[in-house]
Amino acid sequence: MFNPGRGYRNQFRIIAGTWRRRRLAFPALPDIRPSPDRVRETLFNWLRERVAGARCLDLFAGSGALGLEALSRGARQVTFVDQERQVVQAIGAHLQTLGATGGEVVQAEALAFLRGTPAAFDIVFLDPPFASELLAATLPALTQGGWLAHGAHLYMEYPAAAGVVIPAGWQIWRAGRAGRVGFALAVREPPQKLEAQ
């Protein structure tokens, strides 16, 4: 599978917040590719103060970089979901090492998780294995199943050349590109404040 070359020596760093500049390791598995620093920085600039107090879902957790960044910046709760045991164990260890509260790690395949009892999340991070069909398969279950709070934000990463198709009733609020990786933040209805920007 194509790997767009993210991460160095199976490590990533938390950019800002309580654990700013902390470096954490992740398992050397082929599909794990943490979002580059500049992509994460752009994303969290888009989200700004929306992260503080938010309930977040990191559905294809991988390295855990997105969810841990959210916790570092004041998210109230982050649920990390991944099907790989090594990933779940590594993220659990990071939460212990950092003394993090509000982190929950679930070992499950993404679609199987979404067939469970829904909880309303404010921010959902979707960074599935690159060039897989999982993003398209996941979005309907996520947006129609009661998993999203009013005003929720969906963050997606995908092959830039392919683009992304979002569910009806949603729209891209912000989007960018880093090499072969496209990334976007989608909302149901842009808040009034955002429309004026």
Q: How far apart are CA 139 and CA 116, in angstroms?
A: 15
**22 within a domain of the structure (yes/no):** no
* 94 in any annotated domain: yes
Q: Within a domain: residue 85? A: yes
Side-chain half-sphere CA neighbours of 168 within 13 A: 0
Per-residue pLDDT of the chain (197 residues; tens, 9 = 90+): 334 444 446 878 889 999 898 888 776 666 677 777 788 899 999 998 899 999 999 999 988 999 999 999 999 999 999 998 999 999 999 999 999 989 999 999 999 999 999 999 999 999 888 767 888 889 998 988 899 999 999 999 988 888 888 888 899 999 999 888 899 999 986 544 444 33
Looking at residue 95, its amino acid is L
The strand pairing partners of 55, in sequence order, are 77
Separation CA 164–CA 183 (nearest Å):
9
Residue with tokens 């841990």: 68
Is 97 inside any structural domain? yes
The predicted pLDDT at position 195 comes to 43
Is residue 6 one of the residues assigned to a domain? no
Owning domain of residue 45? 36-195
In a domain, 165, yes or no: yes
Number of structural domains (the chain) is 1
- Look at residue 176 and tell me if it is in a domain: yes
CB 144 within 8 A of CB 169: no
Measured CA distances, 103 to 52, 82, 185 (Å): 14, 14, 22
* pLDDT recorded at residue 26: 77
Determine the pLDDT at residue 5.
43
pTM (two decimals): 0.87
Q: What pLDDT shows up at residue 6?
A: 44
Q: What CATH number has the domain bearing residue 158? A: 3.40.50.150
Q: Which of 132, 134, 7 is nearest to 59 (CA)?
A: 134
Q: Rounded to an integer, what distance in angstroms lies between the CA atom of residue 43 and that of residue 66?
A: 10
What confidence score (pLDDT) does residue 134 get? 87
pLDDT for position 95: 94
